[in-house]
Amino acid sequence: MWLTVAVAWVSMFYAIAKSREFVVIVGASLAQSLPPEAEYRITRVENLQELPIVRTGGRFHKAGNRQRIEWQQAGQRVVVEWAVVRGKGLLIHPSGESILVRVVESKRVPQQGMTFHMRRMIYPLGYYLILRDSGGETLGVWELLWHT
Amino acid sequence: VALVMHFTLTRALSGEFAYWCTVLLVVSAGMMSAPTLFSPPLVVHLLILVPVWLFGAWFSLLSPWFPSFGIFGFFPWVGAFLLYLCSLIVAGIVWDWARRRGRA
């Protein structure tokens, strides 16, 4: 019985320590497998040399059905812009709001013509953007939070 | 849960499989908690359950970062807790019924 107690406590500390990493992996995997809620076609990518693998502060802008995210990287302004093809755009308003962006998984850097599939998080201000090529293959998973 | 996490982090298990494993483990934990709670109370029983509850609370706090869908989408923040509670109640009812039947 006391061995069970010891195993329970050790397991708890391990599980709590690893939970964040676990939720990120599982969340990204679920977001890929679930049907997308909206589809965005990437229309512009500027100065994207390195992907933001940690949460990076930036800005969200929109005009019509065009939306874009911007952040600073090595003194340059990185821009990723897309057009809403299907479903609703990201519900972040007004234009110019502060966001946090992070790449959770990545095989390729986004390029013009690629597609983002959107899936909302339970967290009401968060979105998964699943980067896909024209064949539907998943090339990466991005996380975008409205940083109010 | 700790083992599922370990094998998911080492990429031996897919994220989606790990998610459903977690759901199954939450249900199992609820069912196994019933006899532990309702049998003659011992300190050692609580010492087993407290880490389960602490981890459950922490996991529920992190659950908003899952994509919204199904039961976890409808019950944000408390999906895992509700699943645990339902399993606990059902197992408790069955356990109590079996005990009364054994006495009779």
What local confidence, expressed as pLDDT, does residue B41 receive? 66
pLDDT at B77: 59
- The reply to whether residue A24 touches residue B65, judged by beta carbons under 8 angstroms, is yes
Do A136 and A105 form a contact (C-beta atoms < 8 A)? no
CB crowding A45-73: b at 16 or more within 10 Å, else e: beebeebbeeebebbbbbeeeebbbbbee
Burial environment of residue B71 by CB neighbours within 10 A (0 to 12, 13 to 18, 19 or more): exposed
Tell me the pLDDT band of B72, cut-offs 50, 70 and 90.
Answer: low
pLDDT tens-digit profile of A78-133? 999 999 999 999 999 889 999 999 999 999 999 999 999 999 998 888 999 999 99
DSSP B67: B
Q: What is the mean pLDDT of the segment spanning A5-10?
A: 92
What CA–CA distance (Å, rounded) separates A29 from B71?
Answer: 17
Interchain CB contact of A3 with B (< 8 Å): no
Range scoring the smallest mean pLDDT among A3-7, A111-115, B10-14, B98-102:
B98-102
In single-letter form, the type of residue at position A5 comes to V
Q: Is residue B38 very low, low, confident or very high in pLDDT (cuts 50, 70, 90)?
A: confident
Give the minimum alpha-carbon distance from A61 to chain B in angstroms, rounded to a whole number: 23
Confidence (pLDDT) at B75: 56
**Using CB atoms and an 8 Å cut-off, which of residues 15-44 of chain B contact chain A?**
15-16, 18-19, 22, 44
Taking residue A138's Cβ as centre, other Cβ atoms within 10 Å add up to: 17
Question: How far apart (Å, rounded) are the C-alpha atoms in residues B57 and B46?
Answer: 16
Angle in degrees, CA B11, B80, B64, rounded to 5? 70
Q: At what angle do helices B79-103 and B15-38 cross, to 10 degrees?
A: 40
Amino acid (one-letter) located at A74: A
Residue B59 has pLDDT above 60, yes or no: yes
Type and span of the H or E element at A84: strand A76-86
Q: How high is the pLDDT of residue A59?
A: 96
pLDDT tier at B101, thresholds 50, 70, 90? confident
The SS3 of residue A132 is strand
Q: What is the pLDDT of residue B71?
A: 61
Tell me the CA distances in angstroms from B5 to A19, A20, B9, B42, one per residue in order: 8, 10, 6, 30
pLDDT given at position A101:
96
Nearest to A71 by CA among A83, A85, A53: A53
Q: Is the pLDDT of residue B48 over 70?
A: yes
pLDDT at residue B36, as a whole number: 84
Report residue A2's pLDDT band, with 50, 70 and 90 as the boundaries. Answer: confident
> Residue range B35-46: average pLDDT?
80
Q: What is the mean pLDDT of residues A136-147?
A: 93
* Range list of β-strands (E), chain B: none
pTM: 0.85
Q: Is A28 on the interface with B (CB under 8 A)?
A: yes
Q: Does B52 touch chain A (CB under 8 A)?
A: yes
For residues A68 and A28, the answer to whether their CB atoms sit within 8 Å is no
* Other beta carbons less than 10 A from residue A121's beta carbon: 22
Tens digits of per-residue pLDDT, A26-83?
A: 999 999 999 999 999 999 999 998 999 999 999 999 998 999 999 999 889 999 999 9
